[in-house]
Homo-oligomer: A and B are copies of this chain.
Amino acid sequence: MSDPSVHPFTGPNLQAIREAHRRISPYIEQTQVMISYPLDEMAGMLLFFKCENLQLSGSFKIRGAANAVFSLSEAEAARGVVTHSSGNHGAALALAAQLRGIRAWVVMPRNAPKVKVRAVEAYGAEITFCEPTLEAREAAAAKLLHETGASLIHPYDDDRVIAGQGTAALELLEEIPDLDMICTAVSGGGLLSGTAIAAKSLRPEIQVAGCEPANADDARRSLASGHIEEASPLFTIADGLRATLSPRTFAILQERVDRIYPVTEAEILQSMQLITEHLRITVEPSGAVAASPALHRQISGDSEDMRIGIILSGGNLDADAPGLK
């Protein structure tokens, strides 16, 4: 095993993440890691923002989607790919399919943000709308799979996707090796799983934290209770973070994630504003969640030299979304 992790194996390992990075590097951006002295002062720590909102397709999701699509055999690829997604994974899979020159079908809930619907369309995928429940999404995807013979590329319950998402942390830690903690948003757990595998393998002493809306705190509740909890019925403006863990991602999180930070709706909005003002970039609400614990001094550290890596996960802001006026 070339994986230097001290943890028992669950899911893809560091080698799979390195292979994913080699596979997708010709297609994705090596996104910038930004710093800001005023934000450091606000946090009382040193912050390193990995700007996946500046990634192709507008989010980290292209990493996992491209790794899955370019892992398919020629015969599989010829039959196309299917997914269900409230947005960023759908756009990313559409773009990954376009880059390989194959067909893509995307099942989206009727209430998906318009900017995300437009992106899926622009990348040439075919959209099937459904009711905004996980059951309706899965049923519509199953029907498409049956009709087309295409491959399902799940938004997070897929080792190829998890390995691809882990490449963001790989790049971040290759650029800034001495981080004390790395924070990412958690929804279905694909990004957090890939991040935790990459980070704990490269640097066993690092802390890995998931961040989620207090109004969608199923990951925190699941890790506390020891089994996968249902989604909260509450509303959150972080529309990308409403999914729940799968057994696969839950197992990885149980093993390798140190804590989950809940974030209020007001903190999400304020984090978006601070990031726009000081980093001059656009993040969507879900994309700002990972920055919120540091910016709002939720992270307790013993020194101002504590170094926090933050993955800003997406930038596809829907100007029409409620709560953003």
Contact = CB atoms under 8 A, between A and B. Distances in A.
A122 interface: yes
Nearest to A55: B280
A315 B34 CA distance: 14
Contact of A54 (B29, B56, B279, B283): B279
Given A280-B281, A280-B282, A281-B282, A54 B38 contact: no
A111 interface: no
A31 interface: yes
Contacts of A29: 32, 34-35
Interface string A269-287: 0000000100111110000
Given A54-B279, A54-B280, A281-B54, A122 B32 contact: no
A interface bracket (residues with beta carbon within 8 Å of B): 20 to 34
Interface string A15-56: 000000000000001111011001000000000000101101
Contacts of A122: 38
A280 B319 CA distance: 12
A58 interface: yes
A276 to B, nearest CB: 6
Nearest to A175: B30
Contacts of A38: 122
9 contacts: A29-B34, A31-B32, A32-B32, A32-B54, A34-B54, A51-B54, A54-B281, A280-B315, A281-B282
Interface of A: 29-32, 34-35, 38, 51, 53-54, 56, 58, 122, 276, 279-283, 315-317
Given A280-B281, A280-B283, A282-B282, 17 more contacts: A29-B34, A29-B35, A30-B32, A31-B32, A32-B32, A32-B51, A32-B54, A34-B54, A38-B122, A51-B54, A58-B280, A276-B282, A280-B282, A280-B315, A280-B316, A281-B281, A281-B282
